[in-house]
Amino acid sequence: MEANWAGNLTYSAQRIVHPADRAELVRALAGDGEVRVVGSRHSFNGITDTAGTLIATDRLPAGVEVDGSAGSVRVGGGVRYGDLAALLAGRGLALGNLASLPHISVAGAIATGTHGSGDRLGSLATSVRALTLLTPGGDEVRYERGDEDFGGAVVHLGALGVVVEVELDVEPAYDVAQTVYERLGWDTAVEHLDAITSSATSVSLFTDWGPADEVGQIWTKQRSDAGEPPAAALLPRLGATLADGPRHPVPGGDTRASTEQGGAAGNWADRLPHFRLEFTPSNGDELQSEYFVPRADAPAAIDALRSLGEEISPLLQIGEVRTVRADDLWLSPACGQDTVAFHFTWVPDQPAVESLLVKMERVLPSSVRPHWGKLWQMEPADVVARFENWDRFAALRAQLDPERRLVNDFLRRFGL
């Protein structure tokens, strides 16, 4: 059978279908067996797996409809962010944020709370103003921002239906300048963390958590309409040095895959992601994990990870620290709190990585939340306890899928 993007998960589905229109999608949903949906296959755990039918959205119509006057774009859920960004840029429009990878699908990214970085930027799901779900019963249900259950319908883990249409906020196009700095000790970074993460529109701190005990690279992305970034003065004053050429987040990685750096302003779609659409996402042969904590708990989380640096570093290709603005989406890792996210790109040794994750989760703050689509080992009851709207979401799932046809082994662990 087919596998996910990383190759660490082979789908156990009896069949995988690729509907090309709404009628084929309805037929794929019909029946008595279990069904799940997969987009760009960038989840590293079993959240999209099923013993029944797996519906791939890659051949569904893009259905892009731009309404510049209303500040919105309507797309099919299977559209990739990179393709949408190029289309919008060509029409003088923009999204407010992008993730590091432009290869991911719109529906898959918002369903798992995927994000970019920026103190004032929410996850990708916060740009959703409306979405339409096709339920296993064949009903179309539309949720708009402001509706009572909108907060539960957006980050939905694939448990409510197939996203057939998403309406996103857009704005006039803008330019972004990306500048990379290097070599900042962790003691200094922690002392000035708030100043550093607010020093540009988007800031990412890359580290291997290794013996050097430093932030190896700091990627700053500044909107041209936001003025000169404070990072230009702050980071050199703190001891970081300006990179003398293009960098890849993973040491030794092909810099041709990275988006343009060096402080030259250019189109938002070509600077907000870390990686170019035409290259292999990230480093390719890898596993990923990510954990989220409230901003107040970030120093404690950093201390905990530094304490395990000798064990983390040998299994790690690169770690990344990012920030996400609070939102009100029930299952978003940033729900109700400004958040600091700790991302890990691992070598492809899943048994060793999962063993280490157990140790990491023991020392991270008790407020930690996992990324729904990546590897983690937390007990389901502990995860559920981190989301105060969990019962509301469970009730919404029961309403839209009373026969539990979208529930798989992953979701059953959480009582859904």
Query: Residue-wise pLDDT tens for the chain (416 aa)?
Result: 589 999 999 999 999 999 999 999 999 998 789 999 999 999 999 999 999 999 999 999 999 999 989 999 999 989 999 999 999 999 999 999 999 999 999 999 999 999 999 999 999 999 999 999 999 999 999 999 999 999 999 999 999 999 999 999 999 999 999 999 999 999 999 999 999 999 999 999 999 999 999 999 999 999 999 999 999 999 999 999 999 999 999 999 999 999 999 999 999 999 999 999 988 776 668 999 999 999 999 999 999 999 999 999 999 999 999 999 999 999 999 999 999 999 999 999 999 999 999 999 999 999 999 999 999 999 999 999 999 999 999 999 999 999 999 999 999 999 99
Q: What letter would DSSP give residue 80?
A: B
Here the tokens at position 59 are 């051949």
- What class, spelled out in words, does domain 176-380 have in CATH? alpha beta
Rounded-to-integer distance, Cα 309 and Cα 305, Å: 6
Q: What is the pTM assigned to this prediction?
A: 0.97
61 Cβ contact partners less than 8 Å away, ≥ 6 residues apart: 20, 21, 76
**How many other CB atoms are found less than 10 A from the CB of residue 198?**
16
Burial class (CB in 10 A: 0-12, 13-18, 19+), 260: middle
Any idea what DSSP says for residue 284? S
SS3 string, 171-200, reads EECCEEEEEEEEEEEHHHHHHCHHHHHCCC
H or E stretch including 233?
helix 231-238
The first and second tokens of residue 359, run together, are: 């140790």
The amino acid that residue 165 corresponds to is E
Rounded Cα gap, residues 405 and 388, in angstroms: 25
Indicate the domain borders of the chain.
15-56, 65-173, 176-380
Specify whether domain 65-173 bears CATH 3.30.465.10.
yes
Same-fold call for 65-173 versus 176-380: no
Phi, psi torsion values for 86, nearest 5 degrees: -65, -40
Smallest Cα–Cα separation from 345: which of 315, 303, 311?
315
